Amino acid sequence: MLQYAAIVLIMLGLYGLLTQRNIIKIIISLNIMEIGLNLFIVSVGYVEGGIAPILTSVNNSSSLVFVDPLPQALVLTAIVIGVGTTALGLALAKNIYQKYGTFEIDEMGEE
């Protein structure tokens, strides 16, 4: 069920991207989409009863049932890139606010 919840999150983010006219809200929509996508990728690797893919002194053998570690590694990459894009977007938003005094796309350029 988590996979479908993740798809709903992606759709919510897409709807926000299409309808919102405020730069901060657009960035938040992008973030919601990204979280949905990350949840979806991680849920693909979930195994019922599997343990975290780390060998410890308790779970000490590779023959145990682990959840899939590869989607987790890919999501680690995706999260970092998401942070980078969000920072860049917010920097652009700060510059736009300094120039126009507003975050609303419709109010820009009217002076």
- Tell me which residues touch other proteins (CB under 8 A): 1-4, 7-8, 10-11, 14-15, 18-19, 43-48, 50, 52-57, 59-63, 65-70, 72-73, 76-77, 79-81, 83-85, 87-88, 90-92, 94-95
Q: How far is the CB of 105 from other proteins (least distance, A)?
A: 13
Q: What are phi and psi of 70, to 5 degrees?
A: -65, -45
Residue 77 or 111: which CB sits closer to other proteins? 77
Q: How far is the CB of 62 from other proteins (least distance, A)?
A: 4
Segment 93-102 long-range contacts (CB within 8 Å, at least 24 positions apart): 93/23, 93/24, 93/27, 96/23
CB-neighbour burial class of residue 12 (10 A; exposed 0-12, middle 13-18, buried 19+): middle
